[in-house]
Structure 1
Amino acid sequence: MQPLRLEIKRKLAQRSERVKSVDLHPTEPWRSEWATLSKCSILNPIMMAFSLNPCMSMVKSFEVTELPVRSAKFVARKQWVVAGADDMFIRVYNYNTMDKVKVFEAHTDYIRCVCVHPTLPYVLSSSDDVLIKLWDWEKGWMCTQIFEGHSHYVMQVTFNPKDTNTFASASLDRTVKIWNLGSPDPNFTLDAHSKGVNCVDYFSGGDRPYLITGSDDQTAKIWDYQTKSCVQTLEGHTHNVSAVCFHPELPIIITGSEDGTVRIWHATTYRL
């Protein structure tokens, strides 16, 4: 099947090397991009291309560190951005004043991912030191729990939107683990792929207990986390699958790969 060629509505460019992380603000018309030159740029989002206002200007930009920032997330209820970097530090900024709220050493190796709890004052971080840590900003950013069990880099962590006491972690040890806050051991482990797992996302709509994983084996897989079974394997990419996402409202699955393509799949038929 020939890939669909979609028109680029807006191309946002800023002098840097590689963009490592992108996040959309949940209410403001902003998105953040974090690049290896370690500059944060908060931009009007691509969605604005559908409005009558064609402006796509940079709103804010600030230096963070000399090393790559691999993950950053908005904390809208606090007006913060939380960023994790290759210098093993987590940094918290007020995105209105640009003031630094907190800086602390979080891991002993590169930080791959930070993830904000949707309601509680928690941030999860995962690292090449194979650990996942839970930080509580109401306790002065104290590390309140460490999750051990992976044997290789932990590439991503994400909370389950249907049960925010649980989260999933994806690792280059080829597994995905499901955890409960408050328990040091995983609930269960999925032997997910034949190569490292780069990314994971939960299905947030409807009643299907699904998550999706993407791997260096060039596939994405849909899992039923109640039966612990693989529902579908999405094949077609010709290089590592580096990003996966369930659309929050539409029956769409998005996969991105180092083959330079983004593929859009139907979330029921699993067809392109």
Structure 2
Amino acid sequence: MPLRLDIKKKLSARSDRVKCVDFHPTEPWTLAALYSGNIFIWDYNTQTLVKQLEVCNLPVRCAKFVTRKQWIATVSDDMHIRMFNYNTLEKVHEFEAHTDYIRYIAIHPSLPYLLSSSDDMSIKLWDWDKNWQNTQIFEGHAHYVMMTQWNPKDSNIFCSCSLDRSIKVWGVSGGSSQAHFTLTGHQRGVNCVEYAPGGEKPYIVSGSDDRTVKIWDYQTKQCIQTLSGHTNNVSYALFHPTLPIILTGSEDGTVRIWHGATYRLEATLSYFLERVWSIAVLKGSNTAAIGRGAFDERLV
């Protein structure tokens, strides 16, 4: 049975190219990392820009809230990771983390860990309680590592994806830097991965330059579904944490909404703008933010 989707735009804000978006879990804030080297925080209730910060003069590819520390973590094309207090906008810490562009950072949900993935083909684990010591390096991908994500069901496990067309699953306990296993099936590079947020489904969703989205069962290590329809590279894909939908964004300028059980296409959002680079969802709500080539939008 089709889903009844009532989709309304709540905020549309013009800015430079948006590379990453994130939600604060309790404040009405959407964080946008910009290609210009800035980060913006929008209040989506008042539709106003409440904070902005120049990080550096190179693109900021990813920015995430670290709410238990009142930080914003950023990575930029100068290969640095930086922490800012989001109340005062003061820089808390800064260090060079990789030898090539950093694509993504993943904040551990409870431990003082940050994962960074880079074009130097490595993934690094940083412990901020140990003065930002690099405690592990994970190598095995044969091309740029585009994204990492923590497994919400097992806090010692994370997955990664790469332009080498593979998805790998790793562990941070036991000291091993070897991948537990590899998932292959995409015909071109993989840009994004995300775990299913809960329930009984041991699933990972991935999006690729082959223009498809794949759903994987990480217990059987099989691809169980391929979603086709995008007409350009798939840049972002995720399961909604509460609604039975999968959201995918593409360089074709659209966001597609798929049924989480039947995998049928339910809706296509297109505002005749530019490429979609990032999607975030606010837990406990039906709200999503979309980062595009020239816009940061918030939708309900």
For residues 175-234 of structure 1, the C-alpha deviation after alignment (integer angstroms, 9 at most, x for no partner) is 000000032000000113000000000001211100100000000000000000011000
| Residue among 227, 233, 256 paired with 2:249 | 256
For residues 128-157 of structure 1, the C-alpha deviation after alignment (integer angstroms, 9 at most, x for no partner) is 000000000001001000000001000000
The answer to whether residue 214 in structure 2 is matched with residue 221 in structure 1 is yes
Check 1:178–1:129 CA distance in 2 against 1; reply closer, same or farther (3 A cut): same
- Tell me what 1:163 maps to: 154
| Residue among 223, 235, 238 paired with 1:242 | 235
Q: Any idea what SS the aligned residue of 2:68 has?
A: helix
| Residue among 172, 187, 198 paired with 2:163 | 172
The structure richer in strand per residue is 2
One-letter amino acid of the structure 2 residue matched with residue 36 of structure 1: Y
Q: Any idea what SS the aligned residue of 1:163 has?
A: coil
- Tell me what 2:114 maps to: 123
- Whether the 8 Å contact between 1:176 and 1:192 is mirrored in structure 2 is no
| Distance across 2 between alignment mates of 1:203 and 1:5 | 23
User: TM (normalized to structure 1)?
Assistant: 0.93
Q: Please, which runs of 5 or more residues in structure 2 have no aligned partner?
A: 266-300
- Whether the 8 Å contact between 1:255 and 1:262 is mirrored in structure 2 is yes
| Distance across 2 between alignment mates of 1:142 and 1:239 | 39
| Distance across 2 between alignment mates of 1:210 and 1:6 | 26
Q: What are the residue-to-residue correspondences of 1:188-207 with 2, within 5 Å?
A: 188-207=181-200
- Whether the 8 Å contact between 2:149 and 2:193 is mirrored in structure 1 is yes
| Residue among 51, 65, 76 paired with 2:67 | 76
Q: Any idea what SS the aligned residue of 1:9 has?
A: strand
| Distance across 2 between alignment mates of 1:143 and 1:205 | 30
| Residue among 90, 93, 98 paired with 1:102 | 93
| Distance across 2 between alignment mates of 1:233 and 1:172 | 18
Give the length in aligned residue pairs.
259
Q: Please, which runs of 5 or more residues in structure 1 have no aligned partner?
A: 49-54
- Whether the 8 Å contact between 2:161 and 2:167 is mirrored in structure 1 is yes
Deviation at 1:8, TM superposition (A): 2.8
Structure with the greater relative contact order (CA < 8 A, sep ≥ 6): 1 or 2? 2
- Whether the 8 Å contact between 2:213 and 2:237 is mirrored in structure 1 is yes
- Whether the 8 Å contact between 1:86 and 1:111 is mirrored in structure 2 is yes
- Tell me what 1:43 maps to: 42
User: TM (normalized to structure 2)?
Assistant: 0.84
One-letter amino acid of the structure 2 residue matched with residue 188 of structure 1: F
| Distance across 1 between alignment mates of 2:185 and 2:112 | 30
| Residue among 261, 271, 276 paired with 1:268 | 261
Deviation at 1:12, TM superposition (A): 1.4
Q: Any idea what SS the aligned residue of 2:12 has?
A: coil
- Tell me what 1:8 maps to: 9
- Whether the 8 Å contact between 2:152 and 2:198 is mirrored in structure 1 is no
Deviation at 1:5, TM superposition (A): 10
- Tell me what 2:127 maps to: 136
Deviation at 1:71, TM superposition (A): 0.7
For residues 3-37 of structure 1, the C-alpha deviation after alignment (integer angstroms, 9 at most, x for no partner) is x99543321123x2x11111111111111101111
Q: Which segment is superposed worse, 181-190 or 129-138? A: 181-190
- Whether the 8 Å contact between 2:192 and 2:208 is mirrored in structure 1 is yes
One-letter amino acid of the structure 2 residue matched with residue 73 of structure 1: K
| Distance across 2 between alignment mates of 1:139 and 1:37 | 32
The answer to whether residue 58 in structure 2 is matched with residue 67 in structure 1 is yes
| Distance across 1 between alignment mates of 2:192 and 2:73 | 19
Identity within the alignment, %: 60
| Distance across 2 between alignment mates of 1:79 and 1:185 | 33
One-letter amino acid of the structure 1 residue matched with residue 34 of structure 2: A
Deviation at 1:39, TM superposition (A): 1.1
Deviation at 1:44, TM superposition (A): 1.4
- Whether the 8 Å contact between 1:154 and 1:169 is mirrored in structure 2 is yes
- Tell me what 2:226 maps to: 233
Deviation at 1:237, TM superposition (A): 0.5
- Whether the 8 Å contact between 2:232 and 2:251 is mirrored in structure 1 is yes
